[in-house]
Structure 1
Amino acid sequence: MHRITLERHQVWLYLLALGLGLAAGSALQGSAAWLEAALWPLLALLLWATFLQVPLLQLHHALRDLRFTGAVLAGNFVAMPLVAWALVEALAHVQPDPAVRLGVLLVLLVPCTDWFITFTQLGRGDALRATAITPLNLLLQLVLLPAYLWLMGGTATLPAWDPARLAPALLVLLLPLAVAAAQQAWVRAAPPALQARHEAVCNALAWGPVPLLAGVLFVVAASQFDAVWQGLGVLPQVVPVFTAYLLAAAVLARVLARAWSLPTAQGRTLAFTLGTRNSFVVLPLALALPAGWEAAAVVIVAQSLVELLTMALWLRWVPGRLFPSRNSA
């Protein structure tokens, strides 16, 4: 099986992992707390394998095409955050739970840095530019996320931010990032033989994010069965929000592509970067929230599943309808 085939069908693996996790959690009934010990190392391994695929030290590549970069930054860090803000304000009328609001904001404010590239390639976008813009997307989301949450989260979310509880989650997020960056810096100066070996390791680890994320979902569902099961009740409210977000991403991709006069392949890439979000990068933050805020993690998992199911349609619709080839338009 090719890796791209695994990534194309990953949503079914995640659904299976969630189902098995809920079944295991139900059978163990509160005795699965020992699984939590495996959760944080598993998350760290997932993030490390993911960050290794991102050219973290090649930010300058994104500046080679200022039109495309300008469209991506305007979309990901101005337009789509405003959409997310409008959506959580509308959501508050039917679901006032601050944990749900926080989960929606956490996941919608961070552009994807991994399967976005895969979807761009499958959807006949510009994979080279997708790869080039990814480090800049990652850097800016880490810098801007606290400001966005402070501005949009509302005072009701303030009790969730306990520095003592969030410190381990930040370590799980930032340590793999630092290790991956250090590895990439080291390999630059390494002899060709070591560079080739490192590339082989990275290629092998590229298979890791899908099964590792499935493992994370299994552990979350099994070890926090009661919270996850109760949190499923928010799905009828948040699924329409995530669907509306994706529709807005498609419309704005079309508008921005025209405004910046982007070629067809770059327009498709813009659609995929605006539509895909970095769910498992913010998942550690949600899992570190205090008791009573478990719904935030459920919301993030729900968004990733909605997104992946929708991307199966986008792979045909984006190149076929939203940004068709000129000879077929």
Structure 2
Amino acid sequence: MRELMERHQSWIYLVAILTGLGLGLAWPAVTEPLDRLLWPLLGALLYATFTQVPLTRLSLAFQDWRFLAALLTGNFLVIPLVLGALVLWLPLEPAILVGVLLVLLVPCTDWFITFTHLGKGDTGRAIAATPILLLVQIFALPAYLWWFLGSDWLRVAMSSQLLTAFAGLIIAPLALAWLTERLARRQLNAQRLVQGLGLLPVPLLAIVVLVIAASQVNQVAGMTGALLQVLPIFVAYLLLAALVGKALGCWFGLAPASARTLTFSFGTRNSFVVLPIALTLPEAWQVAVVVIVFQSLVELFGMVAYLSWVPSRLIPEPSST
């Protein structure tokens, strides 16, 4: 069931978004009770997702230093530089720029593993590296936002509401997931709980995007031009990320499976972690939420293209002589 949902998650999220838009247009009053569910849903989503990240096995990530060095160099140095060259010279409205930066600056830690597996990457290395990616991005994101947007914007964004959301929706689920995983190493019931939680990320994220679509439908209706403006940015990013993955794989002398893993990591972004940050922004900046959800949908369809392109054409197995 889990693999089936993950294979078809692009369509699941698309249906959820369209359903949410329809609900918001047909029954505007429904958005208020749905909004009350959003934060608990996000907390449950992050907890369920974090329990699937091997937080208690951080040492496994350091067993292959070349791969880890390539992964960290690409995600936290090369990709931000590429992103700066890609978007900062474009005439984007500040709120749209914030959404683009939030969603593209940090790497994914959930469906990255799924697509790595489906795309003939090294799933073991992907699983081992996800705790490192998650922990590094928590500290790196504020520095990136200060670098790209300046200290004035960072002071606006770093409100008490954002800090509360960060503690309640990221730090608390992360700590709870770590405790759950430690317990699962000793107790069978906890192991079953973790396995059961593995079924929840896709349906929970579908419900989250449905709620956001319903509550943001008026903004979506007025953002057609803006979404068409960022669409080529997101498509160009996917192409550049794939090329960076291939280049760093060659530079660090990685096997094809490991190089594909790099590519899927660079191509997938951590939209569900930055959503709580975007939702706490002042009302004038709330269009960033729509941009983030839109990027996730573009990315998912991009990953479908990656699955056929990356292992067969971009990073194939070496031909036998």
Q: TM-score, normalised by structure 1?
A: 0.93
Could you say what secondary structure the match of 2:88 adopts?
helix
Equivalent of 1:134 in 112, 130, 134: 130
Inter-partner Cα distance in structure 1 for 2:278 and 2:85: 21
Q: Which runs of 5+ in 1 are unaligned?
A: none
Inter-partner Cα distance in structure 2 for 1:22 and 1:130: 35
Q: CA deviation at 1:32?
A: 2.1
Q: CA deviation at 1:24?
A: 0.8
Write the mapping of 1:10-89 to structure 2, written as runs, cut at 5 A: 10-30=9-29, 32-89=31-88
Q: Deviations over 1:98-157 (max 9, x none)?
A: 111111111111101000001010011100000011100001000110000000124673
RMSD: 1.7
Contact kept? 2:181, 2:194, Cα under 8 Å: no
Contact kept? 2:106, 2:141, Cα under 8 Å: yes
Q: TM-score, normalised by structure 2?
A: 0.95
Equivalent of 2:99 in 94, 99, 103: 103
1:299 equivalenced with 2:291 (yes/no): yes
Amino acid at match of 2:254: L
Moved over 6 A (4+): none
Inter-partner Cα distance in structure 1 for 2:67 and 2:204: 32
Amino acid at match of 2:283: A
Aligned to 1:268: 260
- For these two proteins, the number of residue pairs brought into alignment is 320
1:116 equivalenced with 2:112 (yes/no): yes
Among the aligned pairs, what percent are the same residue? 50
Aligned to 1:289: 281
Contact kept? 1:105, 1:153, Cα under 8 Å: no
Contact kept? 2:2, 2:199, Cα under 8 Å: yes
Amino acid at match of 1:139: L
Inter-partner Cα distance in structure 1 for 2:35 and 2:150: 30
1:180 equivalenced with 2:174 (yes/no): no
Inter-partner Cα distance in structure 1 for 2:320 and 2:264: 21
Inter-partner Cα distance in structure 2 for 1:328 and 1:163: 58
Amino acid at match of 1:70: A
Q: CA deviation at 1:328?
A: 7.0
1:215 equivalenced with 2:215 (yes/no): no
Aligned to 1:259: 251
Q: Deviations over 1:210-257 (max 9, x none)?
A: 110110011111123223332343111111111111111111111111
Amino acid at match of 2:182: A
Q: Which runs of 5+ in 2 are unaligned?
A: none
Q: CA deviation at 1:30?
A: 4.6
Q: CA deviation at 1:159?
A: 6.3
Amino acid at match of 2:149: G
Could you say what secondary structure the match of 2:56 adopts?
coil
Inter-partner Cα distance in structure 1 for 2:298 and 2:134: 22
Structure 2 CA distance for partners of 1:65 and 1:112, relative to 1, 3 Å: same
Structure 2 CA distance for partners of 1:328 and 1:309, relative to 1, 3 Å: farther
Q: CA deviation at 1:321?
A: 0.6
Contact kept? 1:99, 1:157, Cα under 8 Å: no
